[in-house]
Structure 1
Amino acid sequence: MKKYAFNEITTWQYIFLIFTSEIGIGVLPFPANVARYAGTDNWISVILGWALITAGSLFIIQAMKHYPDGTLLDLLTNYWGKWAGMAGAIVVALYFAFFSYVVFSRTVIYVKAWLLPQTSELLLVVLLIIPFWLIARSGVRVLGRFAEFVVLICCWMPLIFIYVLGDAEWLHLLPVLKEGWEPVVKGTPEMVFTFLGFEMTFVLYPFLQKKNRAAIGVITGNTLALLVYLLLDFTCLVFYSPDEISQYNEPVISLLKVVEFPFIERFEIVFLALYLLLIALTWIPFTFCSVYSTSWMLGKQDHRPHLIVFLLLLVGSYCFYQPTFRANNKMIDWMGKFGAGFAVVFPLLLWMLVAAADRYRRTAS
C-alpha cells in the first residue's frame, strides 16, 4: 500500500496548487519591479523566468522519480542516510516557514492598507489564521480541493484586464530590446522569485495519484502562471507610460481604479478582497510543507500539533514586531536569492547526485 494513499490528489489539483502558489503574492508588484530593470522589455524577462523555473521543475520531477513513494526527505534518507534526511528536513522546514511568513506579512500589509486601515495588525493576524487553521490542518487533499474552488471562483479576473486594454497605448512596447539584452537578463532573477511556489513539488510529489503526469502537470501549472503574468504585464506596459509604471508599488491594483460599474464604486477593493483567496494558496501550502517537515523529523504522522505551534509563534511575533512595507520588501529580496538557489540550482544538483548514486549502485552490484 502507498504510504500517502489516504491523502492523494488528482492531476488537476496538483496543477492548481502549483499555479495558485506562483501567482499569489508576486502578481501585484511584479510589473513595476521588473520594469525597473528591463523597462518596457520586461515581458521578455517574464518568459526567461518561466523557462528557468520550468527547467527547475523538470529537474525536481526527474530526481523524485528515483523514489516515487516519498518526499524529498525520504529521498535524501534513502540515498545518503538518516542525517542527510534530517539536514534536508531542517532546511526545507526553515525555507517554507520563512517564505510563508514573508507572504503572510505581505497579506497583512495589503489588508491593512487597502481594506481595513483602522484595524490593528495583531487583530488582522488573528482573523486571518482562523481560516488558515481550518484548511491547513486537513492535509494535502483538502488543499487540492480548496485550490480547485478558488480557481473556479476567480477565473473571471483576467477578463477585467482585457477590459482595461481599451485605454491602451501600444506604442509603449516599441522598439523591442531598445537597450539590448543586458537589462532583460538583469530583470530575470526578479521573475524567478515571482514564479516561486513550484518547489512544493518536493513535498507534493508522493501525494500525486498519477505520477507519470507529474511533468505535464508542473509544465501546465507554470504555463498558466506565465499566461497570467504576460497578460498583466502587457496591460500595465500599455496602460502606464514607461516612466510612470515604476512609480507604483502595486500597479496591477492601481490600474483597476479606471474600472467602473454602476453597482460597484471601488472595484479594486472588491477585486483585492477576492484575490486574498489566491494569496492564501501561497502561504497555507507553504506552511503545510514546513510543519510536515518538522513532523517528519520527529516521526509523527499528525502535523496539527506543529501547525498549532507555528500559528502561536506567528501571532506572538506580531506582538513584538510588525513588518513595514519596506522591511517586507527586504525579506522578499532575501527570499528571492535563497529561493532561486533552492528551486533552480538545487534540483539540478540533486538530480545529478541521485543519477550518479544509482549508477554507482548498479556498478557495485
Structure 2
Amino acid sequence: MQINKRHQVSPYLVFFIIYNSQVGVGILGFQRTIAAKAGYDAWIGVIIAGSFVQVFIWMMYKLLAKADGDIVDVHSKMLGNLLGSVPSFVIMIYYWLASVSVILSFIEIIQVWMFPTLPSWILCSLILGLVYYCVSGGFRVVVGVSFLSFIIPQLLFIVLYLYPLKSAHFSNLLPILNHSYKELFDAVKSSMYTIAGTETLLMFYPFIREVKSSKKFAHLGVLFTTILYTISAIISFTFYSESQLKETIWPELSLTKVIRLSY
C-alpha cells in the first residue's frame, strides 16, 4: 500500500501511538482482576505479559515488512483478494468490538462517578462526536491527539501515585512468588487483555515514515506502558489490602479519594 508522505508521521511518534493504544480505561480497574488470579504476585504477571507483547511487536514488523503494507495486504498476498477478505473482515469486527467495549466502559465510569442520571445514548453521542471530529481530520490529527493524551496524563499519574505512598505497606507484596505457576499464568492472561492494543500497528503501519527507524520507538512504547502498569499494580497492592481490593471496582480511581489539598 502506497501512502502519500503528507499523510505519514515521523518514526518517533509511534511511541505515542503505541502508548495510547495500550493505556486506556483498562488501567482504572485491572488491579482487582489480576489480583484475583495470583494475589499480590500478579505484578510479576504484568511484566511477563509486557515481555510477550515485545515479541508480538517484533513479529508484526517482520510480517508487515514482507507484505509492504497493512494486515489487509498480508491477507491478500497470502490467500488472494477473495479469500483474504474473510480474515480481514474478522479483524475489522474485532476492532469494532474493542471500540464498543472501551466506549461502554467510559460510559459506565462517567455515570457511576459523575452523572448517574445522564442517559447512556447522550454520553455515547458525545464520545462518538469527538471521535468523528478527530478521525475526519486524518491520521496525523489522531496522532496529534495521541501526543497530547500522553503528556497530560503523566502529570496526573505523578500526583496520583505520590499521595498513596504515604500510606503504602510494601510488606503486602511479601512473600514474593508464593503462588503457583498456573495462577501466575492466569494473571498473565488477564494482563494481556488489559495491555492489548498494539495490534493497531497492523493497520497504521503504512502511515509510518521510515519504518525501520520506528521499531525502537514501538518497543520503547511497550516498555513504558509495561512499567506504568507495573507501578500502578504495585501502588494499588501496597495501598489496599486483598479484601479491600476485592470490593474496589476501580482501584485507580478510588486512589483519588486520598488526595487532600490545603487552601
Scaled by the length of structure 2, what TM-score is found?
A: 0.94
1:269-284 → structure 2 map (5 Å cutoff)? none
Q: Does 1:47 align with 2:51?
A: no
Q: Is residue 153 of structure 2 the alignment partner of residue 147 of structure 1?
A: no
1:45-79 alpha-carbon deviations (Å, 9 max, x no partner): 101111112111211111011022x2111122133
User: Superposition pairs for residues 4-153 of structure 1, below 5 Å?
Assistant: 4-68=4-68, 70-153=69-152
5 Å matches for 1:171-186? 171-186=171-186
RMSD (Å) for aligned C-alpha atoms: 1.6
Give me the whole-angstrom Cα distance separating, in 1, the residues matched to 2:2 and 2:129: 32
Asked if the contact 2:10/2:210 (under 8 Å) is kept, the reply is yes
- Secondary structure, counterpart of 2:28 in structure 1: coil
Tell me the SS of whatever aligns to 2:67.
coil
Tell me how far apart the structure 1 counterparts of residues 262 and 21 of structure 2 sit (CA, whole Å).
33
Percentage of matched positions with identical amino acids: 21
Alpha-carbon displacement from aligned partner over 1:272-305 (angstroms, at most 9, x marks no partner):
xxxxxxxxxxxxxxxxxxxxxxxxxxxxxxxxxx
1:6/1:235 Cα in 2 relative to 1: closer, same or farther (>3 Å)?
A: same
Preserved contact between residue 36 and residue 246 of structure 2 (Cα < 8 Å) = yes
**Which range moved further: 226-235 or 179-188?**
179-188
| 1:157 equivalent in structure 2 | 156
Partner amino acid for 1:81?
A: G
State the distance in 2 between where 1:146 and 1:180 align. 42
Partner Cα separation in structure 2 for residue 131 and residue 204 of structure 1 = 20
Match of 2:192 in 1: 192
Cα distance in 1 for partners of 2:25, 2:7 equals: 27
5 Å-filtered alignment, 1:258-277, equals 258-262=258-262
Once the two structures are superposed, the pairs formed by residues 315-330 of structure 1 within 5 Å of their partners are none
- State the one-letter code of the partner of 2:250: E
Q: Which residue does the alignment assign to 2:224? A: 224
Give the equivalent residue in structure 2 for 1:244: 244
User: In 2, Cα distance between the equivalents of 1:184 and 1:4?
Assistant: 46
The answer to which structure, 1 or 2, has the higher relative contact order (CA under 8 A, 6+ apart) is: 2
- Structure 1 window deviating more from structure 2 (114-123 vs 96-105): it is 114-123
Partner of 1:256: 256
TM-score after normalising by structure 1: 0.69
| Equivalent residue letter for 2:237 | L
Give 5+ residue unaligned stretches, structure 2.
Answer: none
Give the whole-Å Cα distance in 1 for the aligned partners of 2:170 and 2:35.
16
Whole-angstrom CA distance in 1 between matches of 2:104 and 2:149: 21
Question: C-alpha deviations, 1:87-124, integer Å up to 9, x for none?
Answer: 13211210101110111111111111112112111111
> How far does residue 229 in structure 1 lie from its aligned partner after superposition?
0.5
- SS of 1:223's equivalent in the other structure is helix
The one-letter code sitting in structure 1 at the alignment partner of 2:191 is M
| CA shift for structure 1 position 4 | 4.1
Counterpart amino acid of 1:85? G
In the alignment, structure 1 segments of 5+ residues that lack a partner are 264-365
Note the alpha carbon deviations across 1:200-229, whole angstroms, 9 max, x for none.
Answer: 010111111120023212211111111111
Deviation at 1:24, TM superposition (A): 0.4
